Amino acid sequence: MSALENAASGGDFLSAGARHWVRFALRRTGQLLVSLWVLITAAFAMIHLIPGDPVRSSLGLTASQELVETTRQNLGLNDPLPLQYWHFLQGLVTGDLGMSITSRLPVAEIVATRFAATAQLALSAFALSVVVAVPIGVAVAVRTRQGRGRVLDLGFAGTSVVLGSIPDFLIGVILVWIFSVSLHLLPVGGRTGLSSYILPVLSLAVGPAAILSRIVRVEMLSVLEADYVRTARAKRLSATRIHLGHALPNAVTASLTLGGLMLSGMVAATVLVETVFAWPGLGSTIVQAILVKDYPLVQGVVLVYGCGVLLVNTLVDVAMTILDPRSAVIR
């Protein structure tokens, strides 16, 4: 029975638990709306904050004044600011993100075709790092608690610090060197079949996995000393049940905040990793767009990335509240 069902079965009056949920939902929605507004406004303001004429700098010094003027007209940049803002919001609601200056394609279309490639990368990397890091963190915690396993402890600390400090794109370069250049096992780049996913996903996952496993270990170590774990042992549950059923959920709750940061960080890290692997996603798109000063396209991708991050953060908060209902009350 989930907490939601429980809240719903409260009957004709709202139980205390359900009230917490309603309050949490309201507050979280409020937060989300404010953040979304900030994001949209920032994306809108971006073009206007660029020193000089963005269209001129985008089209280059050689472009005719006439072309610049037409483009400005097309982009609506000659309208008064509030009107432009209004049009921008209207566009968002109807899914119109404007036109790319360089390719003259609708931004929404470009974003739509590239979105999946990026989302696949980020999500598989996130799944991989969680699947690898949580068991490692738990196992190391169980084996190093109360000063046991000093060698394992040191080895783990060293490895995870080093792996966690290498930026993703460098891991990408190193992986390319090992598996593509030296061993000729995997493609060096592009998005062609399953094998082309391996290296980009790995380069995104290694660093976060190292950091996450450290956090899981620390949380697990403190949870393993908790009174309720002693209670679980007094109930004579198997070690697996104690570690995975009683300790892990509490350790994960605390690690989840970091997990959320990790996932949104991964979304951002795709920018670099996609460039290493010439991956046809949003990341390589935004880098190219910035370099050629295709501002409407930049704007569109920034919005999508920002929304992705907000979505992840909200999901993490909801997950956390389900796992640990106290957090809905306390926060």
Partner 1 sequence: MDSLKRVLRTPLGVGALSMLGLVFLLAIFAPLLWGEAASETDTAHLLAPPSAEHWVGTDSLGRDLWLRTLVATRLTVLLALGATALGVLLGILLGSAPALLGRRIGRFVTAAVNILVAFPGLLLCLFFAVIFGVGEVGAVFAIGLAGAPTFARLCHTLVAGVQERDFVTASRIAGRSRAYVLFKHILPNIAEPLVVQATIGAGSCLLTFSGLSFLGLGVQSPAFDWGRLMNEGLNRIYLNPLAALAPGLLVITAGLAFNLTGEAIARAFNVETSGSWVTATAAARTAARKVPAAFSAANTVPREVLRVTDLQVGFPGSNPVRGVSFDLRPGEALGIVGESGAGKSLTGLAIAQLIEPPGQVDGEITFLGMPLRPDGGEDQRKLLGTSMALIFQDPMSSFNPARRIGEQLAEISRVHQGMNRRAAWERAVDRLRAVRISDPQRRAGQHPFEFSGGMRQRAMIGMGLMAAPKLLIADEPTTSLDVTVQQQVLDLIDSVREEEQVALILISHDLTLVAERCERILVMYAGRVVEDIPASALAVAQHPYTRLLLAAVPTLATDLDSPLAVIPGSQPDPSTQFSGCAFAPRCPLADDICRTREPLLRNAIPPIDDTRKKPGLGITLKTSRMRLELNLGGKPGSPVHTGQVACWHKGEPLPAPTLIDDDLPDETLAGVGR
Name residues contacting partner 1, limited to 228-287 (CB under 8 A). 228, 230-238, 241, 245-246, 249-250, 253, 261, 264-265, 267-269, 271-272, 275-276, 286-287
How far, CA to CA in Å, does 66 sit from each of 58, 98, 99? 14, 20, 18
Which of 200-227 are b and which e, b meaning 16 or more Cβ less than 10 Å from the residue's Cβ? Answer: bbbbbbbbbbbbbbbbbbebbbebbeee
- Choose, by CB under 8 A, the member of 58, 100, 203, 313 that binds partner 1: 313
Q: Which is nearer to partner 1, 70 or 154 (CB)?
A: 154
Residue environment code for 124-157, b if the CB has 16+ CB neighbours within 10 A, otherwise e: bbbebbbebbbebbbbbbbebbeeeeeeebeebe
* 166 touches partner 1 by CB under 8 A: yes
List 170, 244, 318, 319, residue binding partner 1 (CB under 8 A) = 170
At which residue do the structure tokens 């046991």 appear? Answer: 148
Say how far apart CA 59 and CA 52 lie, in whole Å. 13
- Nearest distance, CB of residue 325 and partner 1, angstroms: 5
- Binder among 92, 123, 186, 323 for partner 1 (CB under 8 A): 323
Task: Determine the Cα–Cα distance for residues 258 and 196; give it in Å rounded to an integer.
Answer: 28
Place of tokens 């890091």: 133
Query: Which of residues 94 and 115 has its CB atom nearest to partner 1 in the complex?
Result: 115
Quick one: which segment of 65-73, 89-97, 168-176, 208-216 binds partner 1 (CB under 8 A)?
A: 168-176
What mask of x and - would describe binding to partner 1 in positions 23 to 62, judged by CB under 8 A? -----------xx--x---x---x--xxx-----------
Q: How far is the CB of 279 from partner 1 (least distance, A)?
A: 13
For residues 100-159, which are near partner 1 according to CB under 8 A? 146-148, 150
Count how many residues are written for the chain.
331
Helix (H, G, I), strand (E, B) or coil at 21: helix
